[in-house]
Structure 1
Amino acid sequence: MTLRNRRPRPLSNLPTIFVDEVGITLGNIADAASGAITPTLRIGVTGLSRAGKTIFITALIHNLLSGATLPGFQAMTQGRLIGAQLTEHPDNATPRFAYENHLAALLGTPPTWPESTRRISQVRLTLRYQSDRWLKNRMGLSTLNLDIVDYPGEWLLDLPLLSKSFRQWSDEALDLAQRPNREEEATPFLEALKATDTMAQADETAAETLALAFTQYLRASKQDARALSTLPPGRFLMPGDLEGSPALTFAPLPKPSHAPRSNSLYAMLERRFEAYKTVVIRPFFRDHFARLDRQIVLVDALRALNAGPEAVSDLENALTSVLACYRQGRVNPISRILNRRIDKILFAATKADLLHHTSHAKLEAILNRLVMNATRRARFAGAQTQSLAIAAIRATREGRIKDNGDTLDTIIGTPEQGQVLGDTTYDGETEIALFPGDLPDSPESLFKTDESTPELNFLRFLPPTDLQRSETGEPIFPNIRLDRAIDYLIGDKLQ
């Protein structure tokens, strides 16, 4: 869209933005006051759907509570971490992360993966440790409150909407819907749009019809066959307690031929778009997002690889948009009271257990390519970044098989019921050895549609069943580099 065609942001939005900033500052002051005796570190955990947020948080909490051996977590290997316990969170307005329910699902008979993140939640862990600094150590044991905030990555894709008008968003959304890679999923919505007179009298049934068709298109684009990621508004995919509300009953509309009347369908949906920003996006940004200290972004790169180059490119665009929203950079203890910023970001390619360990370096290289633009921006702002290939709970083990005289590195596990590979549909009971394929040496090849694109086979596996036990009898979940992720996120705060 050319600059002369852009509609200016209404002046009425500016006081709201100012009020948001005041609210953020007051929230930071309140956090600082409550942490005057016991410091608090707020870590955001996000990722697009099925990236493994719930599993990561459950595994993190369980490992810290049970005292499991985490070789890469220095405070633990040095014997300085005394212990951890769940404590009451001071924010009574935000749902608590249902750790106990998620753990029960993983330890059930049979074990199942816990339900995915559908709304924001949080939980507080209080850690007791011995500092390795002489003066601090002389004062006895130290305490750190670790607040973990779990929220859907789809909601982050909404934050750029704050600076867009309904017209701008509609142009972008319709442009995406008309692209060849979305044609099949978007056609029913586009046909419903053509059959609707958007300049006619506002009608609730027409609004609901368009909103439903638009939502179905977004959800279809999210399925494994497409695995697309750039699909705002995020609450259309994960509405939470707002499902069915007027703030979620709108859709993008083509540019009108003349100024719409205030009682037209077009004007009504435009008002609902603005209400979505006011009721949904701003409170999330003000009350949660802008008050984070550190962030882990979980990325299901393998799902995008399974879907092909278009899904990989779309995932890169989504991650770049997501990371552009963060307030990043270093702050000193004084300025942090008024202006909280994220000083560390961890990018984690999840489900590394779906690959043999010999491919993990390639997976990290792919992740680095996906977040390259976001990483540059973060580092320029002064934030630290790191990338890891992880599996918070490992569902497979490794093996080797012979195939036509070749030795192939495989993973061994039980695929979930209904998983399909070739002509085989798995029953959820049969253990298999799978060669998932070779990741390319150059990540750039994954963005190109040509004959050299590797054939990859990634299935979803059931949780592990034969678990080891700690000295106290607690079940221990196998993992891949969870210890290094924990050390990066909180290790320096336990010194």
Structure 2
Amino acid sequence: MAVTAGISRFGITSLADGVSRQVEAASDSLSAAFFEPVIRLGVTGMARAGKTVFITSLVANLLNRARMAGLTAEAEGRITTAFLQPQPDVTLPRFDYEAHLAALTGPAPHWPESTRTISELRLSFRIRPTGLLGGMAGPRILHLDIVDYPGEWLLDLGLMSQSYATWSAQVLSRMEPRPEAAAFLAAARDATGLAELDESRAQELARLYTTYLTEVRARGFSDVTPGRFLLPGDLAGSPVLTFAPLPPEERAPRRGLWREMERRFEAYKARVVKPFFTEHFARIDRQVVLVDALSAIHAGPAAVEDLGRGMEAVLQAFRPGRNAWLSQVLFGKRVEKILFAATKADHLHHSQHPRLTAVLDELLSSAIRRADFAGAKTGSMSIASLRTTVEETLRHEGRMLDCVRGRLAGGREASLFPGELPQDPSRITRGHQAGDSWLDGDYQIMNFQPATLNLRPGEGPPHIRLDRAAEFLLGDRL
């Protein structure tokens, strides 16, 4: 009887959550139709993909649109003005646009701090109507709510359909050939078959696993679940973040370490992952996923393959109906457009940009097939949210090389030849370039810094194809 009652309570809770979501969705639709429509744009990506810079430059260039010729509404003069407003959700941190812009455009420009939690910013447009009724109707207002969150959190959605045993087996299999995993794997093997929970051992396993995640992320890998292990916030040290994958045990003792790890894994899904998607993810209309494809390519075939798996996980996250609980949250609401953007295009000469986009296209098409994805319109392009280089052609050993020149860490300027991507993107996506360092040596020297800018009135920061990204994501609503 107690079990039946528990199931009933869960069912009532899910039903109540669902009804609440339906009412909220209906209210949003009514407001959009009769008052001031709102677009919620989610911005995410893996570490160092440039989320903070993307949002800062996008907002600056939408406020000052001289560099946004690829945005049709601007080219046709439909946007009369754009302005920042207080964000609607008073419980979320505000994206610190002003501080980030000052970091990028000040007298000593530098990269701002990276995304570590969720934040939000509202940008509003006053738009001149067009068509037969344009002369009779006044300007209308469109709100753009930009939601910034770490990409590691998005990949956690894949955990919701997995058991602890399945997740552990998959993670341990991928860890096996990686040298960064040696210390953790040895500790995990020593922890099998324990009949009693040893909290100090559980904490040591979680610490070693977190160290492994940190190291492989630095190498360009994106399979770094659970995402909160790298960005724990106020959950640091809590039992819900004190677990790790363990080898399977057919008859794991009820009070043993394996069972406790399983319990904490399930608690992580219920108490950490699900609330994020219920409260924030379910309300997103458009999504941009920033991809540091250059770092993955330089890291080698294994990192590229891992990037493809990450894109597949993203697409599965945006497919309502895959998980029963997610269907209850979304109630048929779908993200309308998803843009995958390869960042740092300014690290390559423009002649290489089509090849970089072709690599991303190849990865995306493969991920779509594997995810059996349908619903949202997807797109891909190569961008630079903030252009840090200029191009020049130099002669080297009798050969003309297409180079990029920019300011490196420490202030020194240098012209660099980054190499050439292959014409056939499958040579990268299928790992045929195993070990090749096409970026001409150590990629660390490609760590360009923001250049000192002298912006004229009406200009936002220089970029590459940020206007086309805005057109894909927002053009139909502007």
Question: Does the alignment pair 1:250 with 2:275?
Answer: no
Question: What is the one-letter code of the residue matched to 1:42?
Answer: R
Structure 1 match to 2:326: none
Offset of 1:67 from its aligned partner? 3.6
Structure 1 match to 2:324: none
Structure 2 match to 1:126: 124
Whole-angstrom distance in 1 between the partners of 2:285 and 2:370 = 17
Cα deviation code 1:338-378 (max 9, x no counterpart): 53211111111111000000001101100101111344589
Question: Does the alignment pair 1:292 with 2:284?
Answer: yes
Question: Does the alignment pair 1:484 with 2:475?
Answer: no
Distance change >3 Å, CA 270–CA 13, structure 1 → 2: farther
Contact 1:105–1:111 under 8 Å retained in 2: yes
Cα deviation code 1:375-427 (max 9, x no counterpart): 458996242222111101101010011011111000000122xxxxxxxxxxx
Question: Does the alignment pair 1:222 with 2:217?
Answer: yes
Question: Does the alignment pair 1:350 with 2:343?
Answer: yes
Offset of 1:477 from its aligned partner? 1.2
Question: What is the one-letter code of the residue matched to 1:492?
Answer: D
Relative to the length of structure 2, the TM-score reads: 0.90
Q: Alignment identity in percent?
A: 48
Whole-angstrom distance in 2 between the partners of 1:165 and 1:20 = 24
Question: Does the alignment pair 1:191 with 2:186?
Answer: yes
Contact 2:206–2:243 under 8 Å retained in 1: yes
Contact 1:131–1:141 under 8 Å retained in 2: yes
RMSD: 2.5
Whole-angstrom distance in 2 between the partners of 1:203 and 1:337 = 40
Alignment of 1:312-331 (within 5 A): 312-327=304-319
Contact 2:353–2:382 under 8 Å retained in 1: yes
Question: What is the one-letter code of the residue matched to 1:305?
Answer: I
Contact 1:399–1:412 under 8 Å retained in 2: yes
Whole-angstrom distance in 1 between the partners of 2:202 and 2:87 = 40
Alignment of 1:308-387 (within 5 A): 308-327=300-319, 339-375=332-368, 381-387=374-380
Structure 2 match to 1:202: 197
Structure 1 match to 2:25: 28
Contact 1:198–1:253 under 8 Å retained in 2: no
Question: What is the one-letter code of the residue matched to 1:448?
Answer: G
Alignment of 1:49-128 (within 5 A): 49-128=47-126
Per the alignment, in what secondary structure is the counterpart of residue 338 of structure 2?
strand
Per the alignment, in what secondary structure is the counterpart of residue 401 of structure 1?
strand
Q: Give the total of aligned pairs.
A: 459
Contact 1:122–1:149 under 8 Å retained in 2: yes
Offset of 1:309 from its aligned partner? 0.9
Structure 1 match to 2:325: none
Per the alignment, in what secondary structure is the counterpart of residue 189 of structure 1?
helix
Whole-angstrom distance in 2 between the partners of 1:385 and 1:169 = 28
Whole-angstrom distance in 2 between the partners of 1:358 and 1:130 = 38
Whole-angstrom distance in 2 between the partners of 1:338 and 1:197 = 42
Offset of 1:29 from its aligned partner? 3.6
Cα deviation code 1:460-486 (max 9, x no counterpart): 100021333125xxx631110011111
Query: Aligned match of 1:444 in 417, 426, 432?
Result: 426
Structure 1 match to 2:384: 391
Offset of 1:313 from its aligned partner? 0.9
Question: Does the alignment pair 1:409 with 2:402?
Answer: yes
369-378 or 482-491: bigger deviation: 369-378
Distance change >3 Å, CA 12–CA 45, structure 1 → 2: farther
Structure 2 match to 1:302: 294
